[in-house]
Amino acid sequence: MKAPALAATLIACAAAGCATAAARQRVPEPTYAEAANSELVASNYRAADALMAQFGGTPAGGPLIVATAVNIDALELSSTLGRMISEQVSARFSQRSWLMVEMKLRGSIYMRRGEGELILTREIGEIARTHQAQAVIGSYALGASTVYVNRKIVRPGSNVVLSAHDYVLPANQEVRTMLGRSISR
């Protein structure tokens, strides 16, 4: 009598364990409509809008150079997240009629494989002089459950900060994937 009860218990536990594992593996995929309403894109657009409002310049005032957002704890490193933040901020400025200098087309900038446009200090001054441009720079910091982002518009020749904006992103699965590492909670 004990053997059948034990077998039934083991089968029930195994089935429950498999169901739990299967439920953890099945994550619903977003629809096109849900993806189109990405809060990540909206957050980066709001950051660009805040920079523009505080900057006080106009699109006719000259072009901007947008550098990849870097990890504040390792300024020589970035991630997919840092590159996407920069791309989306640049896109928003462009949508608002600002002239943007596309750095990926420039052959002489310092590129580290997989890290985006990490511009050498001496070169940003040269690029800014050539294009009479300001620079949009930034960094991000990893928290336990959030990512803190800082973006600035600076005058490259003097490093004077002309505009600055801070915002926070949730360290959800999407953001953690773009960071390239898991953040424990």
Residue 68 in domain: yes
Residue 152 in domain: yes
Mean pLDDT is lowest, of 10-24, 45-59, 68-82, for: 10-24
Residue 14 in domain: no
- Alpha-carbon span 39 to 42, nearest angstrom: 5
- Alpha-carbon span 177 to 27, nearest angstrom: 14
Residue 185 in domain: no
Q: Which structural domain range is residue 51 located in?
A: 38-179
Residue 97 in domain: yes
Residue 86 in domain: yes
Strand partners of residue 117: 111
pLDDT tens digit sequence for 52-72: 999 988 888 889 988 889 999
Overall domain count for the chain:
1
pLDDT tens digit sequence for 91-141: 999 999 999 988 766 554 444 444 444 554 556 667 777 778 888 889 999
Secondary structure of residue 9 in the 3-state scheme: helix
At 81, which helix (H) or strand (E)?
A: helix 80-95
If 0-12 CB within 10 Å is exposed, 13-18 middle and 19+ buried, where does residue 93 land?
Answer: buried
